[in-house]
Structure 1
Amino acid sequence: MSQQHLTEAEYDAITDAAAQWCMRLHAADCTAAERQAFEQWRDAHPLHAFEYEAMQEIWEVADHLPRPPTATVLPLPARRSWRAYGMAAAISALALPLAAYSGWSLGWLPSSYEHFQADGSMRQVTLADGSQVELNLGTELTYSNYKDQRRVTLKKGEAFFKVSHDSSHPFVVKAASGEVRVTGTQFNVWMYEDQVRVILLEGSVLVNSDNSHPDGGFRLDPGMQARYRRGDYQPQISQTYANDSSLAWRQGKLVLDNLALGEALPLINRYLSKPVMLADSATGNIRVGGIYDVTAVKSLVTTLPKVLPVYLTRNQDGNPVINSLPGTAPKS
């Protein structure tokens, strides 16, 4: 996260607003107009989104804390740091007697929180723990350092991780409905909508496709990969083949190795603001290949009719739709 030159009063004001928005948005009578006002506030400054994310995490974990027979509602302080203030917001909202505890020591609150995003170009960042991360185009993630784990949330896109080894402080990447847990290794995580693919290059990782079963998961060794979609009870495990080109994005390339369009579109669409659709399943069986620049994927779509027996239309939402020419589509 880039450094923000704010006064303590300005920072506290943002934290105050984030806590109030978090409580308001979780209220049953929150209106559509209020939600629209929140989105305008959130988008007005990067720190607004950072602080709201932190408050949202506090809200979620606080809901799982034990409740005593009687609970005392404590007033919010006028000015405090975001960690202390966030704890107070959770206390006020959920009536939990947490004032006597340290959020960090109990593993409820992170000691640091960072947000990273790669839009127009790929990006390399160093997390607070020293781990290195390469972000593909259109990637967004956050990093939080808790007492019992280092946590990355991959919100969208793809990232390659070189994790700083710490066996007592696991590194966890949350993606869609699952997570990848490591202590120190090199691996790649790709996510598009609810699809996730994990490729391990070095070390060992534990892949769990369903966070509602935290004790589950399958261990990968170097040269293995795991795929899952939201709702999968367990990931699909397989070996990566010798000429696998999934990591070509690190050199700025998208490699389509004779893939069916149905398989290729998730790889293409993650670079587009308007995803490409298929007219039908038979069109999805048409195969495509080639090596493309990740910054020019939009032009790839427009050239498809020149290299494949297809033509393009648009649906009512403005999405490009690939249609096969009559009599040319393989059977489903």
Structure 2
Amino acid sequence: MSRIDLENQALDWLVELHSGRVEAGRRREFIQWRAQSPEHESAARSAEALWGALPATRVARRHRLLRPRRLAVVAAAACVAALAVAAALPTPVAGIYADYATRTGERRLVELADGSRVWLNSASALSVDFSASRRSLRLYGGEALFEVAKDAQRPFVVHAGDGEVTAVGTRFDVDSRGPGVQVAVTEGVVRVEAGGKPAVRLAAGERLAYQAAPGPVQPLDLDSASAWQRGKLIFNQRPLGEVLAELERYLPGRILLTDEALRRHKVSGVFDLDDPDALLQTLQRLQPVRVTRLPWLVVVRPVSS
């Protein structure tokens, strides 16, 4: 049996033992299980360290005298599940107004009436409002790649956050996940306006971010810019913390990194979005980390822990 299988068994034991419904005999069986070999004992210790690293279980232990023991499991599961369900669904506004939306891990191609095409990334929402003089779209959340059909008489305008991106015929990406909005152009030219500031012209191979106003224009890595649309994620010397935040968009639940020093560790690699399990296997193969999957939670920790 592999180390990962043993650790998963040990975690199953801990969930049962902290459920508040376990019989004394099961505790003796767990002691016997961990005594089977040094590998079993090591897996049990790793699982106990992981259990102690979960914020909800630490809170539960501080209140042990006041609440039932099963609070540890209930609190941890409820906390993670609530966050996961919230992350998996579009925002309430998007649910009301969006014409198109995707859930966590879903990507979708939308063919618009004018011949334009839109690729919606995971957990994204978009509304479309076309008229005889204007093509107006609103990205409520998430990310979308736009391939715009030429129509000089009807500007193609994407509203996201506190700004807008205007194009006539081009290919560009708008990402509104963070506190600001990221715009990246892979073909043609767009105009970016935000905060009442002068518009900024953005050409192919360029990107910028805006919030209250457009930020500086920066070069764009064309190979990785729209890789998600092809079912890939490409990272080149990106901090592990940023990589995990990106991977979390495509997995149900949350990702917990137990070691802050690892957050700055540089990551390079190609990840396949169509195989969520392979995402984690690739991460574990390329980096000095150990990955453990629980319902609605992925725990990433150093290999030495």
Instruction: Mark yes or no: TM-score above 0.5.
Output: yes
Specify the alignment match of 2:100 in structure 1. Answer: 116
The one of 106, 113, 134 equivalent to 2:119 is: 134
- 1:263 & 1:323 partners in 2: Cα distance? 15
Shift of 1:238: 0.8
Distance 1:145 1:291, change over 3 A: same
Partner residue in 1 for 2:164? 179
Counterpart contact for 1:116–1:141, Cα < 8 Å = yes
Counterpart check, 1:290 vs 2:269: yes
CA distance in 2, matches of 1:324, 1:204: 44
- Which of 201, 210, 234 is residue 214 of structure 2 equivalent to? 234
Letter in 2 for 1:159: A
Scaled by the length of structure 2, the TM-score of the pair is 0.58
Is the 2:272–2:279 Cα contact (8 Å) retained in structure 1?
no
The percentage of aligned residue pairs carrying the same residue is 33
SS of residue in 2 equivalent to 1:282: helix
Which ranges of structure 2 fall in alignment gaps of 5 or more residues? 1-88
In structure 1, stretches of 5+ residues that fail to align are 1-42, 44-48, 54-113, 328-332
Give the distance between the partners of 2:251 and 2:180, measured in 1 at CA: 16
Please report how far the alpha carbon of residue 325 of structure 1 lies from its aligned counterpart in structure 2 after TM superposition.
5.8
Counting only pairs closer than 5 Å after superposition, residues 214-293 of structure 1 correspond to structure 2 as 214-228=196-210, 231-241=211-221, 244-279=223-258, 281-293=260-272
**For the aligned residues, what is the CA RMSD?**
3.6
Q: 2:213 and 2:124 mapped to 1: Cα distance? A: 26
Q: Secondary structure at the match of 2:99?
A: strand
TM-score (norm 1): 0.53
Paired with 1:177 and 1:278, the residues of 2 have a C-alpha distance of 32
CA distance in 2: counterparts of 1:182 and 1:311, whole angstroms: 45
Deviation at 1:171, TM superposition (A): 1.5
Of 116-125 and 160-169, deviating more is: 116-125
Which residue, 110, 118, 135 being the options, matches 1:125? Answer: 110
Change (3 A) 1:279 1:179: farther
Q: Which protein is richer in helix relative to its size?
A: 2
Q: Which of 160, 167, 174 is the aligned partner of 1:189?
A: 174
Question: Given the alignment, which residue of 125, 130, 142 partners 1:145?
Answer: 130
How far apart are residue 285 of structure 1 and its match? 0.8
How far did residue 309 of structure 1 move?
Answer: 2.6
Q: Whose relative contact order is higher, 1 or 2, with alpha carbons under 8 Å and at least 6 apart?
A: 2
Retained in 2: the 8 A contact 1:157–1:270? no
Task: Measure, in 1, the Cα distance between the counterparts of 2:297 and 2:179.
Answer: 19
Q: Is the 8 A contact 1:117 1:140 kept in 2?
A: yes
C-alpha displacement of 1:177 = 3.3
Paired residues of 2:197 and 2:214 also in contact (CA < 8 A): no
Q: How far off its partner does 1:167 sit?
A: 3.3
> Matched residue of 2:114: which SS?
coil
